[in-house]
Amino acid sequence: MPEAPGTRSVTFSRDWAGLSSSGRIIISIERVASGQPLGQILSHESAHDLLLKSTHLGLVQLALSGEGLDPAPAGQVRDRCARLLDDLIEASRFTHEAVATFASSIGVPERELPAYWSRHPKDYQDAAHVIEWLRARPVADDDKINIALTLGQLALAVSILDDWSPLHLRDVDAMERWLNAPQNRPDRRFPALSRFFAAQEDDILRSVSKSGTNFAASISSQVPLGGQSISYRGLVEPVTGQPLFRDIASHIIKDLAVDPSLPRTDRDRLTREWEQRSQLLNMAPTKLGVILGSTTSTAGQVAYYPPVSVLPAHPLVHVQNNCSTAPIPGIEPVGKKPRYLPPGDSALWFMDSSGGRSAVHVSPGALRSWLEGLSEDTTVCVRDGGSFLGTAIGEPRLRKRRHVVLVQNRTPAQVAIEVSALGLDATRGVVLVAHVASELKDVSYVLLRPQADAVVVILPTAYISALEFCRTVTESTVGARFAPRGVADFFPTQRARVDVRRVIDTFEGRHWDTELLPESTGSTPCTTAISAADKRVEECVYRLVELWNDFKDVRTANAQWRLIAYAQEVWRGTDLWVTDVNRRIDALENLTSLLHESWLLRREVAALRLSVEMYRRLLSELPLDWPVRFRYAGNAGQAMLRLWGDSGDDSLRREALPLLRAANVI
């Protein structure tokens, strides 16, 4: 549903150095481009990653993140998991940041240490200070890093898995009581362990580095903490696969699924879906878990569902098409919650050679109209959430249009698995792979392309991750066959080369070379023609939205009848039937949904009857390749059932049931 016309200037998206999220290491390309060494960021985030994957506590956090964060559905289960996860993070944050911040400082030249510390918040510095004694010890730098990591693992080695069911740790209050005990709170354990190991001889410290957690635990088992000796549970070798993690996640999830304080519908959905979401968590080795993400954008105009005729003309457009059955985050203004994209809708980010940009949300029909008028000199970059190597579901005309795919949601490990699973060797030949080193230190891009296809996938990652990825896939004998290529032999056309360079240069914040500029003067035009009837239909839709907002505020009979009368006027007029089919479908969707929703607020059967009449025409107008047909079918079926309830006409029920089945509503 469009909002009233208009735009507002905001700065959108976020900026951060790095995150460990869902088992992935996500690093901000803006921080790297601004001069912060990627090696230091990667060292910091790798420490977090190892601590998460080598203790039961960390694995429990990963399991909870699958249900407490996106894409888990909203509800009491998600709220519970999010609160439990927050409590565990808060109880171990000091330990994590102490280890990660100190470990990534090792090897930084002394003259550069002031700059290193200035890039970290004071609480990170305070945490790292607890093990700063280790810097002066006469042991090798690698030993210092290993010792810091070992101390972190020992601090996190609490009995959460053993205590989970007996102490009902699925309950937030029970979890908070459990974490209040010094033995169970990593941030109480870590300083005590640091003091103990600071008093050890250098040879003992070298043995800790060489022998790891078992030796360190054996010599520190008498460290006093909270009136008793410290104990260690839940230390494991770093988990790099699904089996152990799945066992732990299953234990946590099954316990939540029998909690009578949670709604039965939420628990049933959790039982059905948790394993699928757990597959999204990255349990691959650290080198194959690194994603470089673009997180900061300049101030630009943001509009939600504007007319196609006012969409800006820029030579590079990023597209995120929601081809899922649930809303996903779209444009994310700074300091505000993301605006969600309904199924079938798309977010577009328009960019030019100098860094200027704007962003919009558009409907399926508007996306098609925009694509039909797009200049060939425009580079379309699809974000990988909605397309991958041209094979994923989604808007078919977007897949057919020349485009590149920028990976922002998958790790290198996930890319390798997914490409192999697609069976490309059977349908489109081998997958060509090229490694492109960036001018930015330690940054690389892996380029992938099916030999018989023009779609190029761009995977931004760390240099060491790119090398490991290329080695892994080219040596693999399972699934798709990968063939290494030099950059000179990789691209199918010169235009594809320009597309990739535009995307990478913009990703890194660089101005374009002359050869990347559009052939026309200024921005590349969008040639979509719009007739007088098209404009009148767009104006009618916005007038309809205004009437809907008026009715929603007062909910009176007069306001509802003004809405119905105007909808009838549009419906009986001629403009709707001579306009572009994509605009007509968008207009019909708005007419039907607004009338239907007005009936939900005030049960005037005339609104519902007109809505059903329009739904029938809408379904007959939909092309067979229209995305999210199920959404329209489900809405139409529900409106027909409600009209049947009011009128008693059984033919409406018979008409509705096949539509609801097609939409998986029944």
pLDDT of residue 13: 43
Which one has a higher pLDDT value, 248 or 610? 610
The pair of three-digit structure tokens given for residue 465, joined into one six-digit string = 């991750």
Q: Rounded mean pLDDT of 446-461?
A: 89
Q: Residue 386 pLDDT > 60, yes or no?
A: no
**Strands (DSSP E) along 107-158, which ranges?**
none
- We report the CATH number of the domain holding residue 555 as 1.25.40
Confidence label for 164 from pLDDT (cuts 50, 70 and 90): very high
In whole angstroms, give the CA distance from residue 609 to residue 616: 11
Confidence label for 329 from pLDDT (cuts 50, 70 and 90): confident
Residue 407 and residue 415 in contact, taking contact as beta carbons nearer than 8 Å: yes
The pair of three-digit structure tokens given for residue 666, joined into one six-digit string = 């029944």
Alpha helices in 422-579 (DSSP H): 424-427, 463-475, 494-507, 532-554, 557-572, 575-578
Q: Residue 648 domain-assigned?
A: yes
The pair of three-digit structure tokens given for residue 203, joined into one six-digit string = 């040879």
pLDDT of residue 246: 82
Record the pTM. 0.75
Are 279 and 296 found together in one domain? no
Q: Rounded mean pLDDT of 505-522?
A: 84
pLDDT of residue 3: 38
Confidence label for 240 from pLDDT (cuts 50, 70 and 90): low
**Pairing state of beta strands 482-484 and 24-28?**
unpaired
Q: Rounded mean pLDDT of 27-49?
A: 89
In whole angstroms, give the CA distance from residue 501 to residue 629: 36
In whole angstroms, give the CA distance from residue 79 to residue 64: 11
Tell me how far CA of residue 490 lies from CA of 38, 164, 467, in angstroms: 27, 53, 17
Q: Residue 521 domain-assigned?
A: no
Q: Rounded mean pLDDT of 208-220?
A: 95
Least confident of 412-426, 514-528, 611-625, 633-647: 514-528
Are 464 and 558 found together in one domain? no
Q: Which of 387, 383, 371, 433 is nearest to 408 (CA)?
A: 383
Least confident of 77-86, 262-271, 462-471, 530-539: 530-539
Which one has a higher pLDDT value, 253 or 192? 192
Q: Residue 2 domain-assigned?
A: no
Are 212 and 293 found together in one domain? no
pLDDT of residue 357: 78
Q: Residue 64 phi/psi, 5° resolution?
A: -70, -30
Are 75 and 187 found together in one domain? yes
DSSP 8-state symbol, 23: T
User: Please, what is the average pLDDT of the chain?
Assistant: 86
Q: Residue 12 pLDDT > 50, yes or no?
A: no
Which one has a higher pLDDT value, 663 or 460? 460
Q: Residue 22 domain-assigned?
A: no
pLDDT of residue 299: 53
Confidence label for 36 from pLDDT (cuts 50, 70 and 90): confident
Q: Residue 477 pLDDT > 80, yes or no?
A: no
Confidence label for 454 from pLDDT (cuts 50, 70 and 90): confident
Q: Rounded mean pLDDT of 38-49?
A: 90
Q: Rounded mean pLDDT of 28-38?
A: 88
Q: Residue 39 domain-assigned?
A: no
pLDDT of residue 394: 57
The 3-state secondary structure of 59-103 reads: HHHHHHHHHHCCCCCCCHHHHHHHHHHHHHHHHHHHHHHHHHHHH
Q: Residue 387 pLDDT > 90, yes or no?
A: no
In whole angstroms, give the CA distance from residue 536 to residue 549: 20
Show Cβ contacts of residue 282 under 8 Å, excluding neighbours closer than 6 positions. 22, 23, 24, 289, 411, 413, 414
The pair of three-digit structure tokens given for residue 393, joined into one six-digit string = 């579901």
Are 382 and 452 found together in one domain? yes
Q: Residue 1 pLDDT > 80, yes or no?
A: no
Residue 25 and residue 44 in contact, taking contact as beta carbons nearer than 8 Å: no
Q: Residue 233 pLDDT > 80, yes or no?
A: yes
Q: Rounded mean pLDDT of 247-258?
A: 90
Residue 324 and residue 303 in contact, taking contact as beta carbons nearer than 8 Å: no
Q: Residue 22 pLDDT > 80, yes or no?
A: no
Confidence label for 243 from pLDDT (cuts 50, 70 and 90): confident
62-108: pLDDT as tens digits = 889 888 876 677 889 999 999 999 999 999 999 999 999 999 999 99
Q: Residue 311 pLDDT > 50, yes or no?
A: yes
Q: Residue 23 domain-assigned?
A: no
Confidence label for 636 from pLDDT (cuts 50, 70 and 90): very high
**Strands (DSSP E) along 188-248, which ranges?**
224-225, 228-229
pLDDT of residue 282: 59
Confidence label for 343 from pLDDT (cuts 50, 70 and 90): confident
Confidence label for 339 from pLDDT (cuts 50, 70 and 90): confident
Residue 104 and residue 43 in contact, taking contact as beta carbons nearer than 8 Å: yes
The pair of three-digit structure tokens given for residue 499, joined into one six-digit string = 């597309």
pLDDT of residue 524: 45
Residue 203 and residue 138 in contact, taking contact as beta carbons nearer than 8 Å: no
Could you write out the DSSP letters of every residue in 391-415?
Answer: -SSS-HHHHHS--EEE-SS--HHHH
The last residue of a domain, from among 225, 260, 283: 283
Residue 613 and residue 639 in contact, taking contact as beta carbons nearer than 8 Å: no
Q: Residue 635 pLDDT > 80, yes or no?
A: yes
Secondary structure of residue 605 in the 3-state scheme? helix
pLDDT of residue 467: 95
Share of the chain above pLDDT 70, in %: 87
Q: Locate tokens 């362990």: which residue?
A: 193
In whole angstroms, give the CA distance from residue 373 to residue 528: 4
pLDDT of residue 258: 92
Tell me which amino acid residue 512 is: W
Q: Which of 250, 338, 277, 255 is nearest to 67 (CA)?
A: 277
In the chain, the number of structural domains is: 3
Confidence label for 525 from pLDDT (cuts 50, 70 and 90): very low
Are 509 and 590 found together in one domain? no
- What is the helix (H) or strand (E) element at residue 291, kind and residue range? strand 290-293
Confidence label for 523 from pLDDT (cuts 50, 70 and 90): very low
Residue 205 and residue 137 in contact, taking contact as beta carbons nearer than 8 Å: yes
Q: Residue 434 phi/psi, 5° resolution?
A: -130, 145
Confidence label for 283 from pLDDT (cuts 50, 70 and 90): low
The last residue of a domain, from among 238, 263, 283: 283
Question: Distance of alpha carbon 424 from its chain centroid, rounded?
Answer: 25
Q: Rounded mean pLDDT of 193-207?
A: 97
Show Cβ contacts of residue 554 under 8 Å, excluding neighbours closer than 6 positions. none
Q: Rounded mean pLDDT of 614-621?
A: 93
Show Cβ contacts of residue 22 under 8 Å, excluding neighbours closer than 6 positions. 62, 65, 66, 69, 280, 281, 282
Q: Rounded mean pLDDT of 390-414?
A: 77
Tell me which amino acid residue 520 is: S
Q: Give 379's strand partners.
A: 316
N-term to C-term CA, the chain: 25
> What does the radius of gyration of the chain's CA atoms come to, in whole angstroms?
28
Q: Residue 378 domain-assigned?
A: yes
Q: Which of 223, 296, 203, 227 is nearest to 14 (CA)?
A: 296
Q: Residue 77 phi/psi, 5° resolution?
A: -65, -45
Q: Residue 255 domain-assigned?
A: yes
In whole angstroms, give the CA distance from residue 74 to residue 51: 29
Are 565 and 460 found together in one domain? no
In whole angstroms, give the CA distance from residue 538 to residue 607: 21
pLDDT of residue 16: 57
Q: Residue 390 pLDDT > 50, yes or no?
A: no
Are 506 and 593 found together in one domain? no
DSSP 8-state symbol, 275: H
Are 226 and 300 found together in one domain? no
Residue 164 and residue 255 in contact, taking contact as beta carbons nearer than 8 Å: yes
Which one has a higher pLDDT value, 412 or 384? 412
The last residue of a domain, from among 283, 312, 332: 283
Q: Residue 19 pLDDT > 60, yes or no?
A: yes
pLDDT of residue 56: 94
Q: Residue 162 pLDDT > 90, yes or no?
A: yes
Are 501 and 540 found together in one domain? no
Q: Residue 415 pLDDT > 70, yes or no?
A: yes
Are 273 and 293 found together in one domain? no
Cα dihedral 61, 462, 120, 158 in deg (nearest 10): 20
Which one has a higher pLDDT value, 601 or 276? 601
Which one has a higher pLDDT value, 518 or 453? 518
Are 362 and 482 found together in one domain? yes
Range of the domain at 232: 54-283
Q: Which of 295, 290, 391 is nearest to 20 (CA)?
A: 290
Q: Which of 375, 393, 403, 384 is nearest to 320 (CA)?
A: 384
